[in-house]
Amino acid sequence: MTDQPPAPATTFVHRAACRVLYGDTDAGGVVYYANYLRYFEHGRTELMRERVMAYRELEEQGIIMPVVECQARYRASARYDDLVVVETTVTAVKPVTCRFDYRVVRDGDGQLLVDGYTVHAAVNRRGRPVRFPEELLVGLRAL
């Protein structure tokens, strides 16, 4: 993306594959734009589950991570039954916020479909900002 520097070569990149469902597409037969945010979520959730902690564990501690900012740049279209790979990196970690960057590519030809990011805040069940648990901060910063 033009408004952010590329991730350093040493940044961990998590890859999660998913198949485009018929219900993900619009009348033109391509993935409806908002569904790429679901693909971002898939990548982020799997990265967290495999490398840091499952969201369920965080929620059991009374913390949720709503999206407070997002951006997506659409480059090419995915279609029904395409296998796409969501490449997810952690690019910023602060005591109460973190940022995940994404690239969604088509498996096989490697075509970049969408890139973007989401920023998340740590809040309690009442919506008040809280600090991330130390275990989470350490895990995210290690990526």
Instruction: Return the active site residues.
Output: 26
Phi, then psi, of 49 in degrees rounded to 5: -60, -45
Q: How far apart are CA 45 and CA 10, in angstroms?
A: 21
CA 59 to the chain's CA centroid = 18
Q: What CA–CA distance (Å, rounded) separates 17 from 132?
A: 28
Cβ neighbors of 23 (< 8 A, separation 6 or more) are none
Backbone angles phi, psi at 141, to 5 degrees: -65, -25
